[in-house]
Amino acid sequence: MAIPANLSQAGDQTFNQLKQENSKESSAKRHVLVVDDEYGPRQSLRMLLKEDYEVHLAENAAEAMNMLQELPIGLVVSDIRMPKVTGVELLAQIKAFSNDIEVIIMTGYGELETAMKAVEHGAYSYIEKPFDTHHMLDCVNSAFNKHQTERDRRVLENLALEASRFETLGRYVSGTMHDMGTPLTVLSSHLELLSIKPDRDDIDERVNVMREQVKFCTDMARGTMDFLRHDKGTSGPMQLHNVVNSSLTLAQPYFRECKVMCETQLAADLPKITGEKMLFRQCILNVINNACQAMQGQEDHRTIYLGTQEEGDDVCLTIEDNGPGIPAESQKQIFEMFFSTKGENGTGLGLGVVRNVMQRNGGSIELINSVRGNGACFLFRFPKAKEMTPLT
């Protein structure tokens, strides 16, 4: 199905916007934040790095976190031992704020074990004080190279997500226009009868029927507008069932096209999850679309099963189909970027992007054994929403 011209133009605008944002950040001077409660070390790092980087200074964690919200910081170099909030605690706050920011920990003698644990929890590296200037410069440069690589990957993911969103929108609009045909025909026939004989005895009944058909059309139009008015980039608490139900609504045209039935078993009273609703919905739709495509070749019934449950700190969603399943030799590669089981018909971006989006939002996705047969079964784990603790 061809996507309408205005949707294609919107996709081009999104691509150009992402490309411009990437170009701006690539050409601009890279920003480093140095955090140390001692004046001397802060200034020595500023003098060392100022030729190649835009250097910002903070003497404590609270000041550092305020700067992160105002400046495009790509790297933080922090002392490990500071009063009130240590460098390791600051690392946790930084990664909670943005996992894209790289962190280098500076450590003194006797603190190596703590520094190594910091690396295990997301720090790019640690450097012993007093540091070698060449080693520090090399470490800062390699940290920024990683930061840029992650940014490039993110741009690619965003493009893939936007392409998926526009494809979904095209299917949904096409299905909506098709579904509107029936109520419009009913409205037309009733109006024709009323124009012939306005004083009919059953006029109230016919007006009520027309009202129902108008409401049906209005609801479908509102659903399309809700999809268009997604809040991209915003994160917050939400009900998983709302995300699942909106995904299933958008998938209805594809279900009809592929002759696929859908069965749900959604647990009651699940806690809220946190993350980006639009991204979660696209992840779910991606797996649903893959399942529909996988079952196209089979003649017997085609069914997708969705179930939700609570497990520990996670709220879980399983999506399973009764298709042929994923070949054993491909199962370890399906989440790799650019790997596809569809040959020339696939980009290999789908499940790789889904995995990265889930991880970026504190969740995960994995392929698990099917409980109904040989079909594919994916398990999503979404993080429960928690109250944010204010920084002090």
Q: What is the pLDDT of residues 82-122, one digit of tens each?
A: 988 988 899 999 988 888 899 999 887 567 777 777 887 78
Domain end point (choices 155, 182, 203): 155
Residue 1 has pLDDT above 50, yes or no: no
Domain for residue 389, yes or no?
no
Domain extent, residue 265, equals 236-383
Question: What confidence score (pLDDT) does residue 303 get?
Answer: 94
Would you call 284 helix, strand, or coil by DSSP? Answer: helix
Residue 300 lies in a domain: yes
Please give the tally of structural domains in the chain.
Answer: 3
Q: Are residues 223 and 286 in the same domain?
A: no
- The answer to whether residues 145 and 261 belong to one domain is no
8, part of any domain: no
Which pLDDT belongs to residue 382? 95
Which of 221, 185, 186 lies closest to 207 in space, CA to CA? 186
Q: Are residues 206 and 317 in the same domain?
A: no
Peptide bond just before 130 cis, omega within 30 deg: yes
Mean pLDDT of 373-387: 88
Integer-rounded Cα Rg, in Å, for the chain is 27
Which strands, in side-by-side order, build the sheet including 54-58?
Answer: 54-58, 31-35, 73-79, 102-107, 125-128
Domain CATH for 82: 3.40.50.2300
pTM, two decimal places: 0.56
In a domain, residue 19? The reply is no
Per-residue model confidence (pLDDT) at position 45: 94
If asked whether residues 170 and 289 sit together in one domain, one would say no
Query: Are residues 140 and 278 both part of a single domain?
Result: no
CATH of the domain at 323: 3.30.565.10
Q: How many CB atoms lie within 10 A of CB 259?
A: 11
Same domain membership, residue 132 and residue 82: yes
pLDDT tens-digit series, residues 173-196: 666 676 677 778 888 888 888 888
244 and 316 belong to one structural domain: yes
- As a whole-number percent, the residues of the chain with pLDDT over 90 amount to 33
